[in-house]
Structure 1
Amino acid sequence: MTEDALTEPGGAGAAGPRASGNPTAAPGAGTLLRLLRDGRPRTRSELASVTGLARSTVTQRVDALLAGGLIGPAGEAVSTGGRPPTTFSFRPEARVVLAADLGATHARLALTDMSGTVLAEDRADLDIALGPEPVLDWVVEHGLALLDAAGRGTDELLGLGMGLPGPVEHSAGRAVNPPIMPGWDHFDVSGHVERRIERPVLVDNDVNIMAVGEHHVAWPDADHLLFVKVATGIGCGIVSEGGVYRGAQGAAGDIGHIHVPNARELPCRCGNTGCLEAVAGGHALAEALTAEGVPAAGARDVVELSRNGSIPALRALRQAGRDIGEVLAAAVNMFNPSVIVIGGVLAQAGDHLLAGAREIIYQRSLPLATENLRIVSSKAGEGAGVVGAAVMVIDHCLSARHVETLVAGA
């Protein structure tokens, strides 16, 4: 499964002529670029052999990619007689991407190359409840400052990817009924930012981009992956057949609002009672510990207490893991993932949360579904979101259907 499939299911992820979106069209420059993005240099003859194109057509499209700076000469291949042929490879440094991971009270920005490698970062406290225009203007201003500090011009900017802490209509670039984002409902996030930077802007739920980032960094060969973010809230990003599954309204993976038996009908911020988030989220754990006489203001305090050996905090994390495992066991039986990744602030507390989840998942799920299942901590860590946001833009802008426009404007 190619990386393109993460954002272009059925399109850029397809092989050969189908990648152009027209089953009768010959592969274009975008298809050649997709082949070269695996990092292996190829000659014109090799590209012609793989695509079935005439050598003259391959030469024309290679020249277009060279002119756009997206590929470059990578040395000479071994000669079979006569002059050694030149090989060409992808140049990830040719363009840069801005990525933003916005949480309820924080913002993380990054500048990456076209391989998703982070070149520069900026982090700050930023309240999402300030509203869309102040928050998005902050993202643009600080993003452009990152670009300038790295010595890169706006002409080198491929686009901007963003994760929001609420449900998102990905195709429209708008938040939909977000519970902790007053003023954001159906606000044109993509349009507002695009008017400022004049580049493509893609928006998704923050857990979805974390799932993409984790998949890209640590599990590129896993076709079925669940990424569970456990922080103030609890959510799940779903990678299926190499692509993000978002659901009909962009609400897929909202496991924090599934009812669990141990929630004791506790009220949840969504308006229901007994939700997983109401008993196992960071805010809920902090409140429960404070009631026990162990003061904690939020998820990070819970993590700090656990690192300092607080028995109540460790016990609370282990039980939170079990509660999360109750929900994930049902997901394992239904979805049958090969990997479950536990990330987010509370996952930084050590193995207690993970151990609790594993205990229940292996106990409650069908043996066939858990036979080869791996349940692991995040390897991408706090950077998963910005990496995923960048990869979302890269795969969109470098898909076969969009590269033609990119090289035409070079």
Structure 2
Amino acid sequence: MLPIHEVIANPKAREIYFTVRKHGTVSKQTLLDESGLTISTLTRILDELLSQELLVEVGFGESTGGRRPTLYETNPSYAYLLGLEISRTHAKLVLTDFHLRLLGEHTWSMDAGLTPELLMESLHRQGLQMLDAASVQLSRVAGLGIGAVGPLDRTAGVILNPARFPAEGWSQVHIKEQLEQRLGVPVYLDNGANTALLGEYWAGSNRMHQHLLYLHAGIGLRSAIMNDGRLLYGMTDTEGAVGQMIIDLPGVPPQIPGGNAGAWESYVSVRTLEGQAREAWRLDSSTSLRALAEHAEALEFVHLLEALRERDPVMVRLFDEMAVACGIGLANLINILHPEEVILGGPLFLAADFYETATRIALERTYYRGQYNVRFTRSSLGERAVATGACALVLHQLTS
């Protein structure tokens, strides 16, 4: 198999492939109207993509008076993709087809024993087992994408010095080079927020919006931006920098070395919420929390969600206050970036009423809200957004 970035050499053919992918199913006439190509050039390009098995014919559309138009889709079985998420709590490997449909999955707990070397050894074994279970040859794998906690050097494929990893050794990890040697397939690295946004963009057929903002609210806050269908990058890897946006001055002290007082992440994160709940446990202000854990330090996010479902007054108040703070930060981002669509992922947005409150507050504080109608959506990929998006990172090389 050719390297994926060399599979479609003709830029116009890349555009046609991408258009078909975004439509899901599309007629030749629609491609002709949108591409501006002549009928002969479009026919030649379609024939090339069909001969490469990148596209398939899937029947006929409705007639508008003449012959019924042929319909095209991208071929989900052209090749297969591996995607790896590396977060502070877990690592997840998935196998998908070219439509990002899940064919296999394995998750590791990111505990004190999971060093980079052990993860890569286990990934090699699990990846081969996953391929075997799906009856896919390794030679049919177009590549492995990785969505990891930053900071990163994505060009060199190096995880630099992420904070708060339980295991030793997660600094200056040349993960691209080492996994390419183990697996014999191309490896691509980016931060988890960027891969999640790519996954949402590629997995959703007919997502024609070009200006997207993605926010993940979990252990911390992570964001990614897409403009005209392209991810925006800064001079350094800035995945977690959004959490250091100041929303309250002087505000609470920073939670991380070098962080800002009054930073958004200090008010909106699972870590912050767990700390607030543990304090409520110590003050004996919540009977639900007392019943869920024998001591304060045993409280985890899953307990807080259970107390919220029971409508515990303390947890209802804490979640509501956090959702308001989330909406304020979102409004700041929207007023600066003016995205068409804001995609919200992560465990906080799955909590009862959190999504609704945060988006309502954001809309109330959006400038020009009468003329500017931003769209909010929940992540369609859920807990697999980063790993599936890492597969999309490989797929993206086809048309980038």
TM-score tier (shorter): 0.7 to 0.9
1:267 aligns with 2:254: yes
Count of aligned pairs: 371
Moved over 6 A (4+): 75-78, 84-88
Instruction: Show structure 2 runs of 5+ residues with no match.
Output: 63-67, 282-288, 290-295
Judged with a 3 Å threshold, the aligned counterparts in structure 2 of structure 1 residues 244 and 85 are, in CA distance, closer, same or farther, namely: closer
Aligned to 1:105: 89
Confirm or deny: 8 A CA contact 1:126 1:135 kept in the other structure. no
How is 1:129-140 mapped onto 2 (pairs within 5 angstroms)?
130-140=114-124
Judged with a 3 Å threshold, the aligned counterparts in structure 2 of structure 1 residues 75 and 360 are, in CA distance, closer, same or farther, namely: closer
1:142 aligns with 2:126: yes
Aligned to 2:65: none
Aligned to 1:92: 76
1:210 to 189, 193, 196: 196
Alignment RMSD (CA, Å): 3.7
Aligned to 2:376: 375
Give, in angstroms, the shift of residue 274 of structure 1.
Answer: 3.0
Judged with a 3 Å threshold, the aligned counterparts in structure 2 of structure 1 residues 165 and 369 are, in CA distance, closer, same or farther, namely: farther
Judged with a 3 Å threshold, the aligned counterparts in structure 2 of structure 1 residues 367 and 122 are, in CA distance, closer, same or farther, namely: same
Structure-2-length-normalised TM-score: 0.79
2:101 to 93, 114, 117: 117
1:177 to 161, 168, 177: 161
Deviations 1:52-111 (A, max 9, x none): 5978x938x946863x54345656999xxxxx9998753211311111222212122211
Confirm or deny: 8 A CA contact 1:97 1:114 kept in the other structure. yes
Judged with a 3 Å threshold, the aligned counterparts in structure 2 of structure 1 residues 377 and 31 are, in CA distance, closer, same or farther, namely: closer
Structure 1 Cα separation of the partners of residues 300 and 249 of structure 2: 21
How is 1:343-354 mapped onto 2 (pairs within 5 angstroms)?
343-351=345-353, 353-354=354-355
SS at 1:292's partner residue?
helix
Aligned to 2:285: none
Structure-1-length-normalised TM-score: 0.77
Structure 2 Cα separation of the partners of residues 87 and 234 of structure 1: 42
Confirm or deny: 8 A CA contact 1:303 1:346 kept in the other structure. no
Judged with a 3 Å threshold, the aligned counterparts in structure 2 of structure 1 residues 370 and 139 are, in CA distance, closer, same or farther, namely: farther
1:319 aligns with 2:316: no
Confirm or deny: 8 A CA contact 2:99 2:203 kept in the other structure. no
| Aligned residue identity for 1:362 | L
Give, in angstroms, the shift of residue 221 of structure 1.
Answer: 1.8
Confirm or deny: 8 A CA contact 2:32 2:38 kept in the other structure. no
Judged with a 3 Å threshold, the aligned counterparts in structure 2 of structure 1 residues 74 and 289 are, in CA distance, closer, same or farther, namely: closer
Structure 2 Cα separation of the partners of residues 215 and 33 of structure 1: 15
Deviates more, 1:213-222 or 1:194-203: 213-222
Give, in angstroms, the shift of residue 50 of structure 1.
Answer: 6.7
Aligned to 2:183: 197
Confirm or deny: 8 A CA contact 1:262 1:279 kept in the other structure. no
Confirm or deny: 8 A CA contact 2:49 2:55 kept in the other structure. no
Q: Identity percentage over the alignment?
A: 25
Structure 1 Cα separation of the partners of residues 273 and 175 of structure 2: 33
Aligned to 1:329: 331
SS at 2:212's partner residue?
strand
Judged with a 3 Å threshold, the aligned counterparts in structure 2 of structure 1 residues 58 and 378 are, in CA distance, closer, same or farther, namely: closer
Give, in angstroms, the shift of residue 42 of structure 1.
Answer: 5.4
SS at 2:361's partner residue?
helix
SS at 2:213's partner residue?
strand
